[in-house]
Amino acid sequence: MYFVANWKMFGDLRTLNLLDKVIKFSKTNKKHKFKIVYCPPNTLIRPLSRRLKKTKIEVGAQNCHHSYEYGAHTGQVNSSMLKNVGAKYVILGHSENRQLGETDNLINLKIKSAIKSGLKIIFCIGETLKERRTKKTNQVLKRQIEKGLKSIKNKSKIIIAYEPVWSIGTGVIPKEAALIQAISFIKSRFVKKYPKILYGGSVNANNADKLKKIPNIDGFLIGGASQSPKKFIDIIQKTII
């Protein structure tokens, strides 16, 4: 099971001290099979990966520029620069970035560049509330996957994160039947051969044991609750133990 912490715009150097608890937890629970990936803001990738050097916890980034080359892109960072400072993963296509104007085509270019850099990609897809209400969920997921992964042959580095937009940060998770339907739609139609599917959106210690029973969920992408080591560990415990 994957437990990916998406810190969004949270955390400074002092915050990293809190992670000692999670490091200890990861070391003392080695017999259970799980992987923790922390995706902090770019400012913390280097210090965090140094701190996690002798642990099994890995580090990822939350976005990257689509160009593999250096260039005149003020304020941007590309995938190889992220790799260079210790990132092994990058989250791409997050709805908070799609809302800022990131298109399926741009996400496709980002994924290609991240593959070239040797990063693993956590590729986020998910419908809005309006799309769900108008029964467009499958259509939206299909479009996001087809366009996002267009002309990418080797998908071994791609992990899909199904994140219904209306579930992110709201405390509301999909009903069991709806989640089973969406995950199996993704799995059967598009990702039969791809390694993993995560669920993201308001995951917490109270809903983790329910969510883990959904077939074909290989882990969680966790926002708010991952900022607290205690809440994050609680979710892992509820899921794997």
Please indicate whether residue 66 is annotated as part of the active site: no
Task: Spell 31-62 as b/e; 16+ CB within 10 A means b.
Answer: eeebebbbbbebebbebbbebbeeeebbbbbb
Minimum distance of ligand PGA from residue 98's CB (angstroms)? 12
Q: Which residue is nearest to ligand PGA (CB)?
A: 223
Distance of closest approach, residue 167 Cβ to ligand PGA, in angstroms? 6
Smallest gap from residue 15 Cβ to ligand PGA (A)? 16
> Judged by CB, which is closer to ligand PGA: 114, or 173?
173
The DSSP bridge pattern shows strands 219-222 and 120-125 to be unpaired
Q: Which is nearer to ligand PGA, 150 or 231 (CB)?
A: 231
DSSP 61: E
Rounded to the nearest whole angstrom, what is the least distance from the CB of residue 174 to ligand PGA in the complex? 12
In 188-223, which positions are buried (b, 16+ CB within 10 angstroms) versus exposed (e)?
eebbeebebbbbbbbbbbebbeebbebeebebbbbb
Residues in touch with ligand PGA (CB under 6 A): 6, 163, 168-169, 200-203, 221-225
127 is catalytic: no
d(CA 62, CA 2) in angstroms, rounded, equals 16
The secondary element (H helix, E strand) that includes residue 50 is: helix 45-51
Of 58, 65, 66, 94, which is the active-site residue? 94
Q: How far apart are the first and last CA of the chain?
A: 11
CB nearer to ligand PGA: pick between 79 and 202: 202
Annotated catalytic residue, options 58, 127, 131, 163: 163
**Shorter beta-carbon distance to ligand PGA: residue 80 or 235:** 235
Strand partners, 38: 5, 59
Residues with active-site annotation: 94, 163
